[in-house]
Amino acid sequence: MEEFTAVGKRVPKVDAVSKATGRAQYIQDVKLPGMLYGKILYSKYPHARIVKIDTEKAKSLPGVRVVLTGEDIPAIRMGVYKDNPPLKAGKVRSYRDEVAAVAATDPEIAEKAIDLIEVTYEALPAVFDPEEAMRPDAPLVHEDHKTNILKMPWSLHYGDVDAAKSDAAFNVEERFTTTWVTHCCMGTSGAIADFDHANNLTIHTNTQIPSLAQKDFLETLKALGLKNSRVRVIKPYIGGGFGSKLDTYAYEHVAILLAWHARRPVKIMFGREEEFVATSTRQPTIIHISMGCDKEGKLLYRDMSMVLDNGAYTSWGVTTPSVMMMPITSLYRVPNVRYVAKCVYTNNTYSQAMRGYGNPQATFAIESAIDMLAEAAGIDRMEFRRINCNQPGEVTPQGFRITTCGLPECIEAVLEKLQLERPKEPGVGTGVASLIHVGGGARIYKSDGCGTIIKMDDYGNANVFTGASDMGQGADTILAQIVAEQLGIGVDNVNVIHQDTDVCPWDVGAHASRTTFVAGNSALGAAAKIRKRLLELAAQALEAHVDDVVLREGSAFVKGSPAVKVPISKLLRNAHFTPNGEMMMADYFYDPANENMGRDFRGNMSATYSFGTHGVRVRVDEATGKVEILDYVAAHDVGRAINPLLLDGQVYGGVLMGVGYALTEQVILDKGRNMNPDFRDYKILTAKDSIPLTPVVIETIDEAGPYGAKGIGEPGCVPTAPAIANAIYDAVGVRIKDLPITPERVLAAIKKKKGIDSCGIDPLTEKEQPCE
């Protein structure tokens, strides 16, 4: 077995000490000389005409330097469909619409100026339910679209679903819903925009996509007439991302506009309420699923349709139907698949990417229905999954090529660790759910690539300049381990730099669990070039064949003779004095061999796929509906664990996020208005809500990954909700089909099962609620 010195080791995060001691600089900590402070005025209506904006009182307030409205800025559009201006003119379409902005000498003056801006509105009819928004007589959110249904044709049909339905021995059909949840990053959003005297822009922003953000900001400069100006994106430490920073937001563009007019740096910093209201959520869904199998339990078809609440504008939430196709077509072997999705404009907040990117919504319905179908067929739920389990070497109906697949081992691990076969207790039940997710990048753009530059100094240290973004997940540490392993140096001798687009290469951003796989392969490629030259220099110094030289622990030696060695630092210094002189630098751009899906949505979108199975034991209190998690097992096929310590952290964090999604979290919107924009009323789980959790690592060593690794950032939260829902059913015999699974919903279902008409008091309306 291959022996590693850095890969596979439980190395603490390289930035841990900086963060623990307060040396790490977040956007909250950054301050520039002469900096002004920006604030944004938001709409008072979910849908209205802007009749008049009076800014005179704000402009006359001492300390105010700039006041802008939508009428004061050029035509700038954000979003996937370019339907979202950073400041709105003529009409607002949601409560989070940005109506005006100010820059002042301190935040308090800016806040007061915002209060002095007087806006006259003419209210318009609004629509908040996506199914109602699809009606021909519904109010139009965007009149130029002529309909609230977005035009992208999210539909696919493989095989003959109707014939398979007729042939199936057992069928299930059901409706599921998921709701708005938000990312809850501990570090709130912010940006500082600053122009130099040549009109070049430097923007400090906690983005997940520095290279793509640079392109967006260049478009804003072009709209200002600055066609030859440069954009530099500096990314401070990020206090959490989870997909929330995968697009550029209005506040970043507004900061640029204010800085341009003020000719001074302008900082916009969100508070917690603004973070809840003015950033985007996971997309809610209404899901209809039908699925059937033959007498032996072999799946014959899966038929799904969805309606997704897009909100007032398009961001990456609008692309989630494409990602949902992955589990719909390829979780288990299903020969006949049909899927249709509609994204619908409403006057609610618009949606963004969030960890799992549509997969948790789709998997909630799929894995709940799998249990229902197994029960209908009279087959043990674990055996049903074994019968239909994905296998290495198969090609799914959507064209995904499964290379390594540890799903069978994940299922067996959960069966063993959770002791699913032990005797049942009253009110206690177990549930399982599996997942498939991209593990080798995901070709959403034309490129899925990442660049790396490595420069070694005279003392055996490596500076790694990467386009990849670390947003707290430990990407820097993973890259340092890969480079250290390849070059034979310590992890402490590797410095990873990713904060500055003026220094770092291009990368498509931190999403799709791609960083370990794509950025890891890029770093590995650059390090391999330097390693090759180091081996040649060492072979000369040791008078040995290059194939016999070993690089380890900062030195080079001949296999079998570790006592005779030469320090790598000495090789580097001596290289300066060769006839032509030499320094150790290398670059590498890695773009995986995955494919853009065609118009039929076929294509191998990832170079490899990650799999997993989660199992949970719960206790349900039939008097209150409260669900208590007694034990949780999360088994994942990770390829190779580059850093088991960080891998455990990803699983712990992902599972707890998934538990919140399943049981407690919900952005409560009342006719488009966020009613719980704080951590008091938005029920995020905290450290005291941690659960007994056992992560299980299944290593399949994928040859396409760096040292065999797959991406694992998102899968931890994907199957959690269906596993819990299945466990509740096993415990008390009620099937909860709507998220979150609150005690009120569980109690209502229990009472309905028992034939009790009243289900108590609705905590939101404070009225008696029927058992529906």
674-711 CB burial, b ≥16 within 10 A, e <16: beebeeeebbebeeeeeeebbbbbbbbebebbbbbbbb
Structure tokens at 678: 């704080």
Q: Which CATH number fits domain 31-124+188-238+245-278: 3.40.190.10, 3.90.1170.50, 3.40.50.2300, 3.30.479.10?
A: 3.90.1170.50
Q: Are 350 and 311 in contact (CB under 8 A)?
A: yes
Q: What is the pLDDT of residue 136?
A: 95
Report the pLDDT averaged over residues 730-734.
97
pLDDT tens readout for residues 219-236: 999 999 999 999 999 999
Q: Which residues pair with 54 in a beta bridge?
A: 118
Q: What is the pLDDT of residue 213?
A: 96
Alpha-carbon gap, residue 164 to 299, rounded angstroms: 10
Q: What is the pLDDT of residue 760?
A: 57
Report the pLDDT averaged over residues 20-34.
96
The pairing of beta strand 758-761 with beta strand 190-195: unpaired
- Dihedral Cα 77, 505, 712, 627, nearest 10 deg: -40
Tell me the C-alpha to C-alpha distance, in Å, between residue 285 and each of 162, 181, 468. Answer: 24, 12, 31
Collapse the DSSP code of 333 into the 3-class scheme (helix H, G, I; strand E, B; otherwise coil) and give the result.
Answer: coil
DSSP 304: E
Q: Are 324 and 106 in contact (CB under 8 A)?
A: no
Helix/strand/coil (H/E/C) assignment for every residue in 432-501: EEEEEEECCCCCCCCCCCEEEEEEECCCCCEEEEECCCCCCCCHHHHHHHHHHHHHCCCHHHEEEECCEC
Q: How many other C-beta atoms can be found within 10 angstroms of the C-beta atom of residue 177?
A: 15
Structure tokens at 337: 């698949």
Q: Is the pLDDT of residue 680 over 90?
A: yes
User: Among 589, 594, 586, 551, which residue's Cα sits nearest to residue 710?
Assistant: 594
25-34, 61-70, 595-604, 625-634: least confident range? 595-604
Q: What is the pLDDT of residue 446?
A: 85
- pTM beyond 0.85: the answer is yes
DSSP 753: H
Q: Is the pLDDT of residue 2 over 90?
A: no
DSSP 518: I
Q: What phi and psi values does residue 183 have, to the nearest 5 degrees?
A: -75, -30
* Every domain of the chain and the residues it spans: 16-23+449-590, 31-124+188-238+245-278, 285-442+598-741
Residues 6 or more apart in contact with residue 270 via CB below 8 angstroms: 188, 189, 190, 251, 278, 279
Q: How many other C-beta atoms can be found within 10 angstroms of the C-beta atom of residue 71?
A: 12
Q: Write the single-letter amino acid at 750.
A: I
Report the pLDDT averaged over residues 373-389.
98
Q: Is the pLDDT of residue 764 over 60?
A: no
Alpha-carbon gap, residue 758 to 734, rounded angstroms: 17
What CATH code is assigned to 285-442+598-741? 3.30.365.10
272-288 CB burial, b ≥16 within 10 A, e <16: eebbbbbbbbbbbbbbe
Place of tokens 């640079």: 214
Dihedral-angle region of residue 156 (phi above 0 means left; psi in -120 to 50 means alpha; beta otherwise): beta
pLDDT confidence bin for 768, thresholds 50/70/90: low
Helix (H), strand (E) counts: the chain: 18, 30
Q: What is the DSSP string of 98-126?
A: EEEEEEESSHHHHHHHHHH-EEEEEE---
Q: What is the DSSP string of 584-643?
A: -EEEEEE--S-----TT--S--SSSEEEEEEEEEEEE-TTT--EEEEEEEEEEEEES-S-
Q: Are 177 and 288 in contact (CB under 8 A)?
A: no
Report the pLDDT averaged over residues 283-291.
97
Q: Write the single-letter amino acid at 325.
A: M
For residue 697, the surrounding DSSP H or E stretch is: strand 693-699
The pairing of beta strand 627-639 with beta strand 609-620: antiparallel
User: Among 66, 134, 62, which residue's Cα sits nearest to residue 100?
Assistant: 66
- When comparing pLDDT for 1 and 440, which is higher? 440
Q: Are 285 and 354 in contact (CB under 8 A)?
A: no
Average confidence score pLDDT of the chain? 95
pLDDT tens readout for residues 579-599: 788 899 999 999 999 998 887
Alpha-carbon gap, residue 317 to 54, rounded angstroms: 34
- Dihedral Cα 510, 511, 514, 515, nearest 10 deg: 20
- Dihedral Cα 319, 321, 324, 325, nearest 10 deg: -110
Burial class (CB in 10 A: 0-12, 13-18, 19+), 393: exposed
Q: Does domain 16-23+449-590 have CATH number 3.40.50.300?
A: no
pLDDT confidence bin for 766, thresholds 50/70/90: very low
Q: Is the pLDDT of residue 770 over 70?
A: no
Q: What phi and psi values does residue 84 have, to the nearest 5 degrees?
A: -130, 100
Q: 31-124+188-238+245-278: same fold as 16-23+449-590?
A: no
pLDDT tens readout for residues 545-583: 999 999 999 999 999 998 999 999 999 999 988 778 889
231-235, 320-324, 484-488: least confident range? 320-324
pLDDT confidence bin for 368, thresholds 50/70/90: very high
Burial class (CB in 10 A: 0-12, 13-18, 19+), 763: exposed
Alpha-carbon gap, residue 685 to 249, rounded angstroms: 27
Q: What is the pLDDT of residue 445?
A: 82
Alpha-carbon gap, residue 707 to 99, rounded angstroms: 51
Helix/strand/coil (H/E/C) assignment for every residue in 634-690: EEEEEECCCCHHHHHHHHHHHHHHHHHHHHCCCCCEECCEECCCCCCCCCCCCHHHC
Tell me the C-alpha to C-alpha distance, in Å, between residue 251 and each of 267, 279, 743, 762. Answer: 10, 10, 38, 37
pLDDT confidence bin for 3, thresholds 50/70/90: confident
Alpha-carbon gap, residue 115 to 122, rounded angstroms: 19
CA-based end-to-end distance of the chain: 59
Structure tokens at 292: 């059937």
Place of tokens 């020969």: 335
DSSP 139: P
Q: What phi and psi values does residue 447 have, to the nearest 5 degrees?
A: -115, 140
- When comparing pLDDT for 80 and 311, which is higher? 311
Alpha-carbon gap, residue 68 to 224, rounded angstroms: 14
Report the pLDDT averaged over residues 493-498.
97
pLDDT tens readout for residues 645-660: 999 999 999 999 999 9
- When comparing pLDDT for 423 and 646, which is higher? 646
Q: Are 428 and 368 in contact (CB under 8 A)?
A: no
Q: What is the pLDDT of residue 771?
A: 55
Q: Are 743 and 626 in contact (CB under 8 A)?
A: yes
Structure tokens at 223: 């709209």
Give, in degrees to the nearest 5, the angle at Cα 7 between 6 and 11.
65
User: Among 416, 390, 398, which residue's Cα sits nearest to residue 333?
Assistant: 390
Alpha-carbon gap, residue 475 to 164, rounded angstroms: 45
For residue 528, the surrounding DSSP H or E stretch is: helix 520-542
